[in-house]
Structure 1
Amino acid sequence: MSKQGKPLGKEKDKPSCAGCGAELQTLSKDRPGYVPATALGAEGAICQRCFRIRNYNDAAQVSMDHDEFLRLLGGIASTDSLVVHIVDLFDFEGSLISGLQRFVGANPVLLVVNKIDLLPKGTNYNRIRNWVQRQAKAQGLRTVDVVLCSAKKGMGFERVVESVEQLRGRRDVYVVGATNVGKSTLINRLISDYSDLDRELTVSRFPGTTLDEIRIPLDDGKAIVDTPGIVYPSRLTELVPRGVLGALLPDKPIKPLVYQLDAGQTLFFGSLVRFDYTRGANLSFTLYTANGLKVHRTKLERADDLYAQHKGELLAPPTAEELEQMPAWTRHSLRIPRGSESDVFISGLGWIRVNGTSGAQVEVYVSKGVKVLVREALI
């Protein structure tokens, strides 16, 4: 990979932000790439949005033209490239790109599963990798390799680099994924370990940080290309106000919570999700969610009144004001098959492991559009 210290950014005449890839402009603060006129010609310039993310952990709401977004993704199929698809293990089904082959054509796909550092200590990674392979195959994703890693902690990073080097040949490498799966963090690791580039992509908890294609030159004339994150409104993390993201996105290994429930009991995850155990024998349920997220147990018969009286207060986050910004709840009725080892997966929240094989009936209430499903148990 390049040691030449070439500038980080798109290979085009117009200047682009070294942090998110957006074309720099001085006309509108509400559009991607805004910079004051005095900063426009500066070397390694970053847009005002990236500046605020890096220095104040704040990001202005900006939008990317949808047609341009599809053009960037759809253009991969016409290239001869290695495609690195990064997914978030904590939100696997929510971050896996459905219909990926439609975007990448015949190009090989390396599946990089990020954020394994969030799994509880003592997790068997071989079993996790086997689980990922089964799930990817069931989703119709054809992969040439699967690598588990933590870009943040550096776990498994050498294996990622080895796979990229072995598989790419003399081709470009396109890095694709949903928002907030760690694409920019992983690429920054590549930059710091394998090139002399002194710029970094902007990294934050905010979805959609990368706004345009960013090319990182390699020594053979090819490049690693960071693409914008695909926004899936089926993830709870895309629907909550920004102030709630910190409660949903874990930054330390998960400490599972175990609840022993009888049919007719309810768990509230703040005011974000309601989980009713409606039918079945006494069972234990293991919760794999962010450690700081408050869980409240009550009887099913009291659940409606409790929510009506205490949403946004005892049941928080979000606050009552933040809750008004979110879509209303919809109900998902789920059957846990007898004899199965299953998770109830809620995209953006985590998952609930059903301990036991006697079967059960549960209902999940969450913002309309959020992906909820029963899957083979991850752990």
Structure 2
Amino acid sequence: MNEELRCIGCGSIIQSEDKQGLGYTPASAVKKGLETNELYCQRCFRLRHYNEIAPVSLTDDDFRRLLSHIRDTKALIVYVVDIFDVNGSIIPGLHRFVGDNPIMLVGNKEDVLPSSLRRNKLQDWLRQQVNQAGIRPVSTMLVSAKKNHQVEALLDEIDQRRGDRDVYVVGVTNVGKSTLINQILKLRTGVQDLITTSRFPGTTLDQIEIPLADGHQLVDTPGIIHPEQMAHVLPDKDLKIVAPQKEIKPRTYQLQDQQTIFLGGVARFDYLKGPKVGMVGYFDNNLPMHRTKLANADHFYAKHFGTLLTPPSGEDAKNFPPLHRFEFAAKEKSDLVFEGLGWMTVPAGSVVAGWAPTGVAVLMRPAMI
């Protein structure tokens, strides 16, 4: 692709190879755009014609440049995290990058957590999690962008908090940030010429500016790539099995030590030491889980991976990275978290191990529930 071809909406270099990348445009659309002298990337085209924002992502270096720009502005930062994958949503060093600008914390996808969980308790827990990363939000809200739950309330809170500021919406990939922005657009479509696009000076990153009533802007920024997320090792068809779309139903297993639970073929939980106890797993309802003895686990995985233990399957199983082991001792009731997949809640005094594809993080945190 000719590097001189740029989207007239956002300035990104036009390319037809990477559908998830900046500037992606099907080759047929490039030809038509050149003929009409209106060459837009697919993201800008959808934005102009359908008021639909498609997600794009950026690297750590791109993100540092983006945030250094925000730090020099007078802005309210709306920081969106996936409430089902909080640890995978954390942006390291965010508090250092945004300077003195206030941060609003928004926990998205709250609809996938059990409805029995008290939301005020969940808000407190979420705030504590980001506090550990040095982030001190001025307020914390829970929303479901997909179900348009509490989005209007979020806009009211933004209006109260921003004062004489622009608003920047930031988050890692796969937290539902673009879905949230699209819901905001639906609530504000009475405005003519609603969307403008621009880019930060000196980069090919695009930002999307939504005009606010007082002349300020609500700015959507590209998502930051976190390579430790499960989403980066599974194809889309398998992500639909492991990433919850509906309210999850906790699954309880009566376990004694030296037992293993396989989470499809993508992860493994070993109960190494502790009392016989009911352990609860919080994973997508469609994810198959199989229990076996720890002594037999390696053989079981080698024999059934890609068939009984799925996803992955077929060609995807052949290219799937090997599982890497992490061991933990729980000093209090804790969650053993498989980033982007879910977690097992384990009792105090237990010793456990979590296995995940190489590159995907497994960690232990104080129990959410």
TM-score tier by shorter-chain length is 0.7 to 0.9
Structure 1 unaligned segments of length 5 or more: list them.
1-12, 202-210
Paired residue for 2:288, among 287, 294, 306?
294
Superposed CA RMSD: 2.9
Contact 2:81 2:89 in 1 (8 A): yes
Contact 2:78 2:169 in 1 (8 A): yes
Paired residue for 2:42, among 36, 44, 47?
47
The alpha carbon displacement at 1:279 in A equals 0.9
Aligned match of 2:301: 307
CA distance in 2 between counterparts of 1:158 and 1:294 reads: 37
Aligned match of 2:223: 229
Q: Give the residue type in structure 2 aligned to 1:314.
A: L
Paired residue for 2:173, among 179, 182, 186?
179
Aligned match of 2:182: 188
The alpha carbon displacement at 1:109 in A equals 0.3
The alpha carbon displacement at 1:198 in A equals 8.4
Listed one character per residue, the Cα deviations across residues 157-181 of structure 1 (whole Å, up to 9, x for unaligned) are 2321111001111211100001011
Aligned match of 2:139: 145
CA separation of 1:262 and 1:22: change in aligned 2, threshold 3 A: farther
CA distance in 2 between counterparts of 1:42 and 1:82 reads: 37
Paired residue for 1:90, among 84, 101, 104?
84
**TM-score (norm: length of structure 1):** 0.82
CA distance in 2 between counterparts of 1:36 and 1:78 reads: 36
Aligned match of 2:342: 350
Contact 2:355 2:362 in 1 (8 A): no
CA separation of 1:234 and 1:187: change in aligned 2, threshold 3 A: same
CA distance in 1 between counterparts of 2:111 and 2:275 reads: 34
The alpha carbon displacement at 1:101 in A equals 1.6
Contact 2:12 2:22 in 1 (8 A): yes
CA distance in 1 between counterparts of 2:180 and 2:192 reads: 16
The number of aligned residues is: 343
How do residues 92-171 of structure 1 correspond to structure 2 at under 5 angstroms? 92-171=86-165
CA distance in 2 between counterparts of 1:38 and 1:134 reads: 51
CA distance in 2 between counterparts of 1:28 and 1:184 reads: 22
CA separation of 1:43 and 1:162: change in aligned 2, threshold 3 A: farther
The alpha carbon displacement at 1:44 in A equals 10
Aligned match of 1:6: none
CA distance in 2 between counterparts of 1:324 and 1:257 reads: 29
Paired residue for 1:250, among 244, 247, 263?
244
Q: Give the residue type in structure 2 aligned to 1:47.
A: Q
Structure 2 unaligned segments of length 5 or more: list them.
1-5, 196-204
Aligned match of 2:202: none
**TM-score (norm: length of structure 2):** 0.85
Q: Is residue 12 of structure 2 the alignment partner of residue 23 of structure 1?
A: yes
Q: How many percent of aligned residue pairs carry the same amino acid? A: 42
CA separation of 1:63 and 1:186: change in aligned 2, threshold 3 A: closer
CA distance in 2 between counterparts of 1:24 and 1:105 reads: 30
CA distance in 2 between counterparts of 1:325 and 1:200 reads: 44
Contact 1:274 1:365 in 2 (8 A): yes
The alpha carbon displacement at 1:294 in A equals 0.5
Q: SS where residue 90 of structure 1 aligns?
A: coil
Listed one character per residue, the Cα deviations across residues 63-120 of structure 1 (whole Å, up to 9, x for unaligned) are 8576544322331111110000000000011102121022211110000011110011
Q: SS where residue 105 of structure 2 aligns?
A: strand
